[in-house]
């Protein structure tokens, strides 16, 4: 039973937190900002993944 407690109690990897932060940042951008840098909402997951790796 200790295994299950350990499995669910472990902290999340740092890159997952960075991915969520990057995705929130992209979602908070205005449409004008998105148009300036040329990204579409469909690109958000890929861009957030790249940002979290760095």
- Going residue by residue through the chain (54 aa), what tens digit of pLDDT does each one get? 556 666 676 666 778 889 999 999 999 999 999 889 898 889 999 999 898 887
Spatial distance between the Cα atoms of 2 and 26, rounded to a whole number of angstroms = 39
15 Cβ partners below 8 Å, 6+ apart?
52, 53
Q: In this predicted structure, what is the pLDDT of residue 36?
A: 92
Whether 19 and 11 have beta carbons less than 8 Å apart is answered as: no
If you ran DSSP here, which 8-state letter would residue 17 be given? H
Tokens of 24: 């929130």
In this prediction the pTM is: 0.66
Spatial distance between the Cα atoms of 25 and 48, rounded to a whole number of angstroms = 9
The pLDDT tens digits of the residues spanning 37-48 come to: 898 889 999 999
- For the CA atoms of the chain, what is the radius of gyration? 16
Domain boundaries, the chain: 13-53
């Amino acid at each position: 039973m200790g295994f299950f407690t350990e499995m669910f109690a472990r902290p999340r990897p740092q890159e997952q937190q960075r991915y969520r932060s990057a995705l929130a940042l992209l979602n908070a951008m205005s449409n004008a900002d998105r148009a300036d840098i040329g990204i579409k909402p469909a690109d958000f997951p890929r861009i957030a993944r790249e940002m979290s790796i760095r």
